[in-house]
Structure 1
């Protein structure tokens, strides 16, 4: 009896080893005859796709290049995985790879040595694929040579068997060439193309690991398991237009979330959701309308947020000139008339809160007030003593002086509260993964840091940091920056994350 049991166990292990070896075996996949397109239009298009779909996995931590990074989003039981070095180094990177080899990796998820990789395979059209190759060959600083080879990805015993069974150790079936790019327009056709073939929304927001899962009825219903940077298990959201999904999301809600990483309730979208910075109005409309056309699926994903209802109260986003503006219960003021705004954001985003109102998070927004009689404001919230003549009640002839509009007071900002509410504490608070990055802010100017807080994508297009320009204006960002530079985050408790 023992001999029989031992034989069964031994045979099972041998069978598992064979499956695992098969997982590591080479596969047959064609080499697409696609060549890098280095035209200006193609480079711009390729940059947009690469920043959105590739950079987050291949550039890790503080790296300035796409030299590879650990893929911690995958469950540990599957094994240990590392994204490839995509720099132009001839041996550690892709410097010696041909366009056809790179095109095969992108279109079929097959490595240069012919093995299936744990990465999405993209069905983007030939022109878009050529644009991505062009950007990868463009000499952009992201691809500066890095001689450090990326560690080899290794399946666990269970992960290898599962991967072999799910994929059949065969690449996805699609043509090597001749795949068109639909005309760019606010159509469902173009929206489907982006959701399935360019940004790969379908794979991440559909449960399971089968390469054919996006052909089933549960597509976009969410539930796929990931691991966030803090090591916590998270599941992708239901993005069908069901009550448990996006039923009450407006186009503006959707665009802000996908492009800037800010959900309708003002919270930060959970990792590993990327930011599609290059999404323009036409693409946003197409993607939104396509998802609305997908059959709604009832799937309440635990931890997914926000769950909006028809009466959900959204934060008062900075909007029309003259409107009252609060940010999670914090008054947002405006810079002095004529002051500069961040690139790409006009004066319509700089408003003055003129009354007291109740903020959406329950806090009270205090009215902006003019400077007190004995002090003059510099417009940045710093007050200076009035002139000696004024302090002594001296008579000053001002008949010829033109009337000047009083500068609005700086916003009253509860910086610690705002730091937590904007999600900054989850990345930069005590014990958080990017806590150390705040060490260098003391040597940077307030102006630079304000621009970084509001528009980080202008400094680093592929950054996962949300874009806050639409949520907080320059004076509010300046108040937050001053608190950070003074060491404020160190005063928070680790539970504030």
Structure 2
């Protein structure tokens, strides 16, 4: 009997070829860009890093950018883990050159020459040098962590799909010479922020092709992610169509992308980051640029809120967008004012967020000002509220329930004073500039926040049902 092995051999050869193709290296230049450690550059680099990098590279239970599992990506693609960016010489980037880091950021190419599942940023040379300067700084985020991040691995199907879509080629852009447009409330600067710094275009356009941000579906939403509970969430349509941001005011938009609160009072869905460093010029530029784009009809499932011309904003929003009360601090006209005492427990329960609000109330402050001291006046008595219901209603459970990404912070938070927790709940960016936790100062008055803080200190989050992943 004679066996013909040619068929199986051909199949095996084809399989090996495909697998080798998925693992092949690519050619990408090393930008001759060095870290800029000047005070202005460190401030700019910190703003960009907190907005665009920290959410992926700092895990929920650590205080350093030592890497984290990327649960946001579909599981069928494989298992992915963000890199350790601490200054450790072997596990982190301590021994990595500025040029290697610049290549990873500009082309999404790893040190061993492979395309990574991360955005490639077309930011100008000056901004890229500022980000490198911040990464080389003594900021606590980069305190050496000796544990290396696990290697990312494509599944067979994920690897084939990624290679097919990308062509196994990095995005085409010059290694040096990319300018930073003059900062101001202009369409040019708005385009720069949307495409090259905050990378709104990649996340809010469906698909994985490097060329997708230049096609007709740009900003129409629909790219699939996983939220903090492991549920699929599709990015929102951010064109100014009725299925997108039509009827959103500049104040609505600024509060959503900076503070994580949508116009109806709900928490903006994860994994949308919070652009904490956004100033009034950037907010206006980004808003006007998106408004200048062609409206695209795409009613993304689960996206909210879609406003109408007659949408009634909660009372606290109306107050913030109109005339602020006499005791409210003054802010730029393009960025919503912050009325410190306008929210009541009634307005706080007027809307129910459908997604996550991540924070780290158990970690130490990061160069954002000292924590409140015990010398502060005593806080008022808590309002009669159902704290567990409020915890779910404002999206906290999605990130802090047992099994959720940020649950570990709850045990550390219980050791803080009520005064500190109240400040964490209302103004988390004061303690951790890059936190994705929404700012609840406008929704929760001090008394209501204190009731929630007391419930957290009593171990309330541990009694909740586990999140699913």
User: Could you tell me the TM-score, scaled by structure 2's length?
Assistant: 0.85
Is residue 350 of structure 1 aligned with residue 322 of structure 2?
no
Question: Alignment RMSD, CA only?
Answer: 3.2
Q: Could you tell which deviates more after superposition, 288-297 or 223-232?
A: 223-232
C-alpha distance in 2 between matches for 1:185 and 1:94: 34
> How far off its partner does 1:486 sit?
3.2
> How far off its partner does 1:98 sit?
0.9
Spell out, residue by residue over 1:450-489, the C-alpha distance to the aligned partner (whole angstroms, 9 max, x if none).
1110111121222221111122232221222123323444
> How far off its partner does 1:431 sit?
5.3
Spell out, residue by residue over 1:160-215, the C-alpha distance to the aligned partner (whole angstroms, 9 max, x if none).
11111111111110011110000110011101100000011000000000000001
Mapping for residues 162-311 of structure 1, pairs under 5 Å: 162-311=161-310
Spell out, residue by residue over 1:63-94, the C-alpha distance to the aligned partner (whole angstroms, 9 max, x if none).
11111111111111111111111111111111
Q: Which residue of 1 aligns with 2:32?
A: 33
Name stretches of at least 5 consecutive residues in structure 1 with no aligned partner.
326-333, 363-377, 383-409
Indicate how the Cα distance of structure 1 residues 149 and 442 shifts in structure 2: closer, same or farther if over 3 A, else same: closer
Q: Which residue of 2 aligns with 1:129?
A: 128
Match of 2:431 among 455, 459, 463: 459
Q: Could you tell which deviates more after superposition, 267-276 or 128-137?
A: 267-276
Q: Which residue of 2 aligns with 1:468?
A: 440
Spell out, residue by residue over 1:249-283, the C-alpha distance to the aligned partner (whole angstroms, 9 max, x if none).
11111111101111111111111111111011110
Is residue 76 of structure 1 aligned with residue 75 of structure 2?
yes
8 Å CA contact 2:253, 2:287 repeated in 1 = yes
C-alpha distance in 2 between matches for 1:232 and 1:358: 25
Indicate how the Cα distance of structure 1 residues 295 and 380 shifts in structure 2: closer, same or farther if over 3 A, else same: same
Indicate how the Cα distance of structure 1 residues 254 and 187 shifts in structure 2: closer, same or farther if over 3 A, else same: same
C-alpha distance in 2 between matches for 1:219 and 1:144: 38
Spell out, residue by residue over 1:335-391, the C-alpha distance to the aligned partner (whole angstroms, 9 max, x if none).
xx9999xxx9999422487xx9997459xxxxxxxxxxxxxxx97454xxxxxxxxx
Q: Could you tell which deviates more after superposition, 10-19 or 196-205?
A: 10-19
C-alpha distance in 2 between matches for 1:316 and 1:21: 59
C-alpha distance in 2 between matches for 1:129 and 1:463: 22
Secondary structure at 2:315 match in 1: coil
Mapping for residues 96-107 of structure 1, pairs under 5 Å: 96-107=95-106
Q: Which residue of 1 aligns with 2:355?
A: none
8 Å CA contact 1:19, 1:164 repeated in 2 = no
C-alpha distance in 2 between matches for 1:318 and 1:379: 28
Indicate how the Cα distance of structure 1 residues 303 and 14 shifts in structure 2: closer, same or farther if over 3 A, else same: farther
Q: Could you tell which deviates more after superposition, 126-135 or 306-315?
A: 306-315
Which of 1 and 2 has greater Rg?
Answer: 1
Q: Which residue of 1 aligns with 2:312?
A: 313
Q: Which residue of 2 aligns with 1:447?
A: 419
Indicate how the Cα distance of structure 1 residues 240 and 178 shifts in structure 2: closer, same or farther if over 3 A, else same: same
Match of 2:388 among 416, 428, 443: 416
C-alpha distance in 2 between matches for 1:53 and 1:359: 31
Is residue 479 of structure 1 aligned with residue 451 of structure 2?
yes
C-alpha distance in 2 between matches for 1:490 and 1:247: 40
C-alpha distance in 2 between matches for 1:38 and 1:53: 19
Indicate how the Cα distance of structure 1 residues 294 and 134 shifts in structure 2: closer, same or farther if over 3 A, else same: same
8 Å CA contact 1:195, 1:201 repeated in 2 = yes
Match of 2:410 among 427, 430, 438: 438
8 Å CA contact 1:204, 1:236 repeated in 2 = yes
User: Could you tell me the TM-score, scaled by structure 1's length?
Assistant: 0.81
Indicate how the Cα distance of structure 1 residues 163 and 10 shifts in structure 2: closer, same or farther if over 3 A, else same: farther
C-alpha distance in 2 between matches for 1:40 and 1:187: 25
8 Å CA contact 2:127, 2:180 repeated in 1 = yes
